[in-house]
Amino acid sequence: MKKYLSAALFVFAFYFPAQAATVTPVRGGTLQAIVQPEPTALTSSFQNTFPNLIVSANIFDGLLTYDENSKPQPGLAERWEVAPDGLTITFHLRHGVKWHDGQPFTSADVKFSLLEVWKKLHTRGRVTFAPVTSVDTPDEHTVVLHLAHPSIVILSALNAVESQVIPKHIYEGTDFNKNPANVRPIGTGAFKFRQWNKGQYIELERNPDYWDSGKPYLDKLIFRIVPDAGSRAVALETGEVQYAPYDAVAHADVKRLEQTGNLRVTTNGYSWQAQNVFLEFNLRNPILEKLKVRQAIAHAIDVKSLIKTVWYDFGKPATGMIPSSLTDFYTTDGVPQYPFDPARAEALLDEAGYPRKENGVRFSLKLDYQPFNEAYKFHSEYLRQNLKAIGIAVTVRNQDLPGFIKRVYTDYDFDINTGQISPYLDPQIGGIRHYWSKSIAKGVPWTNASNYSNPGADKIIERIQVSNDPEERFRLFHDLQRIGMNDLPVLPLFEIQHFTLYSSKLHGVGAEPDAAISSLKNIWIEHE
């Protein structure tokens, strides 16, 4: 049987692996890091954008972690068993774990987090944990999940990135989205929250009672909010900041910063997400509802040049909803492709009934982008120019992250939106949401905003969710890629490769598939 969980990283000419730690880590010190844009909350259980993850994964834990081979390892759960029929999963929790306020961590916290938060409010958890019908807690350190059907995907979604365990005694009976703990969090993680000076920095301090004995090594973590990419680059170059994940500087600056000799670049730590950059079409728009228009837009975009010009080769063209790094799930067999062909795009628009007018414009559209960094602004401008060449006038709209989320996922006030999506190691976690009609959820970010609905796609997705046969699931995902690229509610543009910059004096930077958005408990600073 093929390996079930697989991931691979692109290798770039300037890539440096994470620096190996020496035998004895040095304790103490403060790590100055970058998080950009500023988080909207310090939990990702129900507000799960990546800036929230970068900080909150240091404060909270998950039941599991994942090693460099993407295999599950103990977290808050010391061990677990899956019943032979796949209908029960039992977790045995660590003893002696405490919340940062001193209260004991118990099975009740896990049950509460799963049933009341992950299953109801989490963008992807609503799908991942849908098979869970009930949760038993026979004692304070045992959690038993009962499933309506086998669900292979659950064990790929239990780290602190995807499914943070939150304290029942803090959240029960409250409005979760307005709970003060969202900005003054109480977790079980390696670092405790100290203060958040909005617009400037978030400060965390070492948890002296952390369950992973001897860790963390650092005394403090300070995540600085620096809106200007040039200023972030200067802070790294001067050593004022020592750690910056998730493309914190302009792509054009990466090679220069690496060549200073004081900074290292790694592309490790992102394969757990396996991200694509995409265009999503609002099918409520009568123009975009026409397949030939969407096909024309696909043919109008010079993806190879986009990657080279805007993203400095940090990526490669996508062929469908699943990145090629997920080798078992990925296929190109029978998957429709839309190579760069402006003449074909113009012909399709003529056939769709949108000839050029006297001013050369066929129609106008609005384009909104995820404002995660400046590259997306340049990316959107590049798309605007490509579409202008075939007679589509595009207005690029700029807004902050909360404004983007409200406009696209609550108001549906968009024509096209562009950004990144994470299918994750098992694309059932995040790869199906654009294509499943039941993922249309007004007000819930990162779901099916296009209003796409295809009973054939729904049938395949719902079979994926209940199958206990890995080989069958691979075949079903292959079928879904064919349908998705034929119907084209979403156009996958390219497989993005993120990067992390860090000081050469920093040790313990992880190579795990989720390292860039996981706890920094293993990091230490070399002192002179």
Tens-place pLDDT, residues 116-169: 999 998 888 888 999 999 999 999 999 999 999 999 999 999 999 899 999 999
Is it the case that residue 18 has pLDDT exceeding 60?
Answer: no
Give me the mean pLDDT over the 70-87 stretch. Answer: 95
Categorize the per-residue pLDDT at 23 as very low, low, confident or very high, splitting at 50, 70 and 90.
Answer: low
Single out the residue of 28, 517, 10, 24 nearest to residue 273, CA to CA. Answer: 517
> In angstroms, rounded to a whole number, what is the distance separating the alpha carbons of residues 87 and 85?
6
Tell me what pLDDT residue 14 has. 36
Place of tokens 């200023």: 231
Identify the pLDDT of residue 7. Answer: 34
Angle, vertex CA 514, rays to CA 150 and CA 45, nearest 5: 65
Residue 2: pLDDT over 70: no
Pick the closest to residue 91 from 103, 68, 107, 69 (CA basis): 107
Q: Which CATH fold would you assign to the domain 276-496?
A: Dipeptide-binding Protein; domain 3 (3.10.105)
- Length of the chain equals 528
Question: Backbone phi, then psi, for 32, in 5-degree steps?
Answer: -95, 120
- Kindly state the DSSP code that residue 155 receives in the 8-state scheme: G
Share above pLDDT 90 across residues of the chain, in percent, rounded to a whole number: 86
Residue 151: predicted pLDDT:
94
Q: What is the pTM of this model?
A: 0.84
Residue bearing the bigger pLDDT, 23 or 158: 158
Please give the full DSSP string across 464-479, using - where no structure is assigned: HHH---HHHHHHHHHH
Q: For residues 75-87, give the mean pLDDT.
A: 96
Which pLDDT value is given to residue 20? 44
CA distance 515 to 245: 10
CA distance 306 to 397: 19
CA atoms 10, 15, 21, 26: torsion sign: negative
Here the tokens at position 311 are 């993203």
For 280-292, write each residue's pLDDT tens digit.
999 999 999 999 9
Find where tokens 């492709």 sit.
337
- Residues 368-372, mean pLDDT to the nearest whole number: 94
Q: What is the pLDDT of residue 17?
A: 42
Whether 13 has a pLDDT exceeding 90, the answer reads no
Q: Per residue in 257-304, pLDDT tens?
A: 999 999 999 999 998 889 999 999 999 999 999 999 999 999 999 999
- Position 280: which residue type? E
Residue 336: predicted pLDDT: 98
Give every CB contact of residue 466 below 8 A, 6+ residues apart in sequence. Answer: 131, 149, 150, 151
Beta strand extents in 370-522 (DSSP E only): 392-397, 416-421, 490-496, 500-503, 506-507
Please state, as a whole number, how many other Cβ atoms lie within 10 Å of the Cβ of residue 522: 20
Average pLDDT of span 345-364: 98
Q: How many CA atoms lie within 13 A of 326 on its CB side?
A: 33
- Rounded Cα distance, 528 and 524, in Å: 13
- 463: its two tokens: 């079979």
CB 146 within 8 Å of CB 420: no
Condensed to tens digits (0 to 9), the pLDDT of residues 409-467 reads: 999 999 999 999 999 889 999 999 999 999 998 998 889 999 999 999 999 999 999 99
What is the residue-averaged pLDDT of the chain? 93
The predicted pLDDT at position 8 comes to 33
| Contact by Cβ (8 Å): 448, 437 | yes
Answer for the pair 408, 368: CB distance below 8 angstroms, yes or no. yes
Give the helix, strand, coil percentages of the chain, each rounded to 5. Answer: 25, 20, 55
pLDDT at 528: 65
